[in-house]
Amino acid sequence: MSPPYAPFVRLTPSDEYWAGKRLIEAGEDAIRIGIEAAELPDDAAAHMEKVLKQRRRSLIAHAMAAVTPLDLAANAGRTVWFKDRAIAAGVARREGTYYEVSYLDRGGTELAPTRSFWSAGEISVVPLPDSFDAGPMVLHVRSVRAGIPAPRWCDVHVIVDHASARVIGIRH
């Protein structure tokens, strides 16, 4: 029995999400190219490609389910546009997905009532509350898929003024 691999022992959900994004960005072509470079017999190469693609998809699905997998797509005016990496990767569906959004100050005090927004697909828009004029705000966002809430929220740190919102950081 080998000792545990230390980086995996300390792996956080945020780390897993980062690794899942790297797998998505590498694409399936990287698997095919690597297998071709190995010069395996055709039947072994076909089997290896099938297994590695299935494993890649499984790892991506697990990573996207460990957090609320949202990244900044854009901000325009007083809205923040999110890319849902799970929907974009095809491991989650738009149908039945919505986002719970709490509007908090840096200390966690609620600035406006929590709202829910249905997913529009890969990209969804979250407007900022009209009742908040200016200053720092944290959008505390959680995806809910088929009625099951994600285990971790995504915190989006925003600087707001009367006409715009600027994202300054995201924590998964």
Q: Where are the chain's structural domains?
A: 6-65, 70-171
Where does the chain have alpha helices with state H? 6-9, 13-26, 29-38, 42-65, 85-89
Q: Write down the CATH number for the domain with range 70-171.
A: 2.60.40
Q: What is the pLDDT of residue 158?
A: 94
Query: Distance (Å, rounded) from C-alpha 1 to C-alpha 18?
Result: 29
Q: What is the pLDDT of residue 162?
A: 85
The pLDDT profile of the chain, 172 residues, written as one tens digit per residue, is 677 777 777 889 999 999 999 999 998 889 999 999 999 898 999 999 999 999 999 999 999 999 999 999 998 899 999 999 999 999 999 999 999 999 999 899 999 999 999 999 999 999 898 888 889 999 999 999 999 999 999 999 999 988 888 999 999 9
pTM for the model stands at 0.87
8 A C-beta contact, residue 152 and residue 66: yes
Q: What is the pLDDT of residue 10?
A: 82
Q: How far is CA 92 from CA 44, 70, 150, in A?
A: 31, 12, 12
Q: What is the pLDDT of residue 5?
A: 72
Q: What is the pLDDT of residue 87?
A: 97
Q: What is the pLDDT of residue 8?
A: 73
